[in-house]
Amino acid sequence: MKAILLAAGRGTRISRMIEEIPKCVLPVDGVPLIRRTVMMLIKRNIQPIVCVGYCKNKIFEALEGLNVTYYYNPFYDVTNSIASFWFAREELTEDMLIMNGDVYIDDEILNLIIETKQECALMVDTGRTVEGDYFLKLINGFIKDYGKDLPLKERTCEYVGIGKVGRSFLDRFNNKLEALMNSQQHQLWWENILYSIAEEENIGTIDIKGLFWSEIDYFDDYERILAHTSRDVKSERLGCEM
């Protein structure tokens, strides 16, 4: 299995709150977030592939010493994640995890998406429908509509920022990727590949309601991660003292 981490973007919504660094290198317990994720993947013998663009040297530094394959999107400032993904398309040869590089997850969540038997699926949280960044409408667990501005009554869940595409699904995935890029749809997210396919066939989901995760869009998201990890550390210390 391989994992593509998309980390080329500038992160304009949080950039005014942090220095000129990619948000995926913000430290969590002293370790850059993306390094933490890559180490989790390597531990499971999953080959990490990282798409870089903005301040790429900062990501190289954050992942120094780890066995990572890189792809550079030189047009990161005028394209979106589908273009970064296109530069790494030669890696689409086996089961793939696809993750936004600024997502914090734990081992339990990662194991859930690795172990799913679904041919193709996005990870979602049905516990979040009011506040969030990107919402999906599901029918029987399959994606039927999507959008940042999806009306509240249409929302079933928030999208987590992680997907899995099985080897048997790669031809359909690749064909749609090429079709979108050939029609100059480089401003789309990589997830639009699956949303386009969902208009023709079922694309499943994996619900992680009740588990902690966060994608860093705003500084508040980062602070929530730090608060969560701080509680975990305190719990571990209390457990050792008992």
| Residue 237 within a domain | no
Number of domains in the chain: 1
**pLDDT confidence bin for 220, thresholds 50/70/90:** confident
Q: What is the mean pLDDT of residues 222-239?
A: 70
- Which residues constitute the domain of residue 168? 2-120+162-203
**What mean pLDDT is predicted for residues 34-55?**
96
Is 141 inside any structural domain? no
Residue 154 belongs to a domain: no
Residue 225: C-alpha distances to residues 2, 27, 96, 210, 229 (Å): 26, 10, 26, 15, 6
Q: CATH number of the domain at 190, please.
A: 3.90.550.10
Is the pLDDT at 31 greater than 80, yes or no?
yes
Does any domain span residue 35?
Answer: yes
pLDDT given for residue 22 in this prediction: 87
Query: Is 42 inside a domain boundary?
Result: yes
Note whether residue 234 is domain-resident.
Answer: no
42/160 Cα distance (integer angstroms): 21
- 58 belongs to a structural domain: yes
Report the 10 Å Cβ neighbour count for 89: 14
Alpha carbon distance 51, 231 (integer Å)? 32
Residue 77 lies in a domain: yes
Percent of the chain's residues with pLDDT above 90: 80
Across residues 209-237, what is the average pLDDT?
Answer: 81
Selected residue with higher pLDDT from 38 and 238: 38
Is the pLDDT reported for residue 238 higher than 50? no
**How would residue 13 be classed by pLDDT, with cut points 50, 70 and 90?**
low
pLDDT in tens, 126-138: 999 998 889 999 9
Q: What is the dihedral of CA 5, 9, 14, 19, to 10 degrees?
A: 100
- Indicate if the pLDDT at residue 24 is higher than 50: yes
- pTM (2 d.p.): 0.90
20 pLDDT above the threshold of 90: no
